[in-house]
A = this chain, B = another copy of it.
Amino acid sequence: MREIGVGILGFGTVGAGVAAGLLKNRELMAERTGMDIVLRRIADLDITTDRGVEVDPSVLCTDAFSVISDPSVDIVVELIGGCGIAGKLVRAAIEAGKPVVTANKKLLAEQGCEIFKLAQEKGVDVFFGASVGGGIPVIRALRDGLAGNRIESVHGILNGTCNYILTRMEKEGLPFETVLKSAQEEGYAEAEPSLDVDGFDTLHKAAIIAALAYGVQPDVHTLSVEGIRGAVDGADIVYAGEFGYRIKLLAVIKNDGESVEIRVAPTMVPRDGMLASVSGVFNAALIKGDLSDKTLYYGRGAGRLPTASTVIGDILDVARNLSSGQPRAFVIPRTRMPLRIKAKGEEKSRFYVRLSIKDAPGSLAFASGIFGNHGVSISAALQKEPGSSCGGFATVVIITHEALRADVDAALEEISESPLSGGVPHCFGIAD
């Protein structure tokens, strides 16, 4: 039986999970694949902390470059993360002709183009299934299962922290800050939560999906990203429910044939649809192909063993390619006509808008008139009587017909500047 040696760089949560999974299911994988996947080396600066997995001490070392150059290591698994040393190591492995499996979303979102180009020059595989969706084989579905489809759109709930917070805000009627604090105490949110709650983690994943689906390499710093902090409050969740929707932080990747929309924002999804059923820390991606129609992939978006499941799936693929002597030549598809990436405001959808307007005759007419002036047509509206604490301002909720975001924003700016306005409007797209 052919032996394939694996070297892991980074012995953190996921690194320890991959080691545990490789050791636990080694025999099963050998039966399935006819290959013996052997854990040969693990590198980390800290090799003394107990990681909850028993590995032979001779496997551990502190020099990651020595793992790459070790002739018994056939596949390099990069689980350090970030664009610093991890990027250097990934490049060094490729230069050394060794295939790489990585879960590094930041590196791929920001430098994927160069890394895949280098991999193609050197004729080695770079697999990255665990960079999006943790334990959900969503990258694999896009790359293999749906490879015969034009991808029309991907709508993803790709950050477990945000989905956990939104789920509890809805179920328990609690404000964002309270749930965030509790999530931090329970280990569902980082002490510094910005990467998650402000949407950047989701954006990195959206960029990787867009690259895979459309061959575009967007500069993530120019993309539209809104998180849930300061954007979603309890009132929006309640009104969304009244209109038959639920609010989720969505990555939206869409191709209208001329340009690609890539953005992250709190978005309303139909309450009886599949995305609305994704609760707590779970993730999901709804992919629409021109042949397949809608397909959805759901599971744990993070965590030691679920992420390891996907990393190991990649290791097995790479091992098979090593056996056949043929790396996977098409990591990122190229389209002959590169698609333009939409600028902010160019996206079209229906929108939910919540306004606070002076409770005076003509206020609703005033607001809806401004929408009309900007070419935004109203589909449904709801005006609530002002509560005693609202200082004479009434809440108006509007659902628009399909409109251009820029037009909606222009209308909202005009309304905000009026003396009749009682606060910053809230606005979310609707993913029908």
Q: Which residues of A line the B interface, CB within 8 A?
A: 17, 21-22, 24-25, 28-29, 31-34, 129, 135-137, 140-141, 144-150, 215, 272-274, 276-279, 284, 289-300, 303, 305-306, 308-310, 312-313, 315-317, 320-321, 323-326, 329-330, 333-336
- Specify the chain B residue showing the minimal Cβ separation from A37: B148
Q: List residues of chain B with CB within 8 A of the CB of A325.
A: 324
Q: List residues of chain B with CB within 8 A of the CB of A323.
A: 326
A148 touching B295, Cβ below 8 Å: no
B316 touching A291, Cβ below 8 Å: no
A292 touching B297, Cβ below 8 Å: no
Q: List residues of chain B with CB within 8 A of the CB of A289.
A: 309
CB distance from A293 to the nearest CB of B (A): 5
Q: Contacts A290-B24, A293-B305, A330-B34 hold; do A29 and B299 have CB atoms under 8 A apart? A: no
CA distance A244 to B57 in the complex (A): 51
CA distance A97 to B152 in the complex (A): 37
B297 touching A147, Cβ below 8 Å: no
Q: List residues of chain B with CB within 8 A of the CB of A293.
A: 135, 299-300, 303, 305-306
CA distance A276 to B292 in the complex (A): 22
CA distance A292 to B326 in the complex (A): 28
- Specify the chain B residue showing the minimal Cβ separation from A334: B31
Selected contact of A305 from candidates B291, B300, B305, B330, CB within 8 Å: B291
Q: Contacts A135-B291, A274-B274 hold; do A149 and B25 have CB atoms under 8 A apart? A: yes
A313 touching B150, Cβ below 8 Å: no
CA distance A31 to B137 in the complex (A): 23
A298 touching B299, Cβ below 8 Å: no
- Specify the chain B residue showing the minimal Cβ separation from A289: B309
A-B contact pairs, 23 of them (CB 8 A): A21-B148, A21-B291, A24-B290, A25-B149, A29-B147, A29-B148, A34-B329, A135-B291, A137-B145, A140-B144, A144-B317, A146-B313, A148-B308, A148-B316, A274-B298, A289-B309, A290-B305, A291-B306, A293-B299, A293-B305, A293-B306, A294-B298, A295-B298
Q: List residues of chain B with CB within 8 A of the CB of A309.
A: 146, 148-149, 289, 291-292
Q: Contacts A31-B333, A31-B334, A290-B25 hold; do A295 and B136 have CB atoms under 8 A apart? A: yes
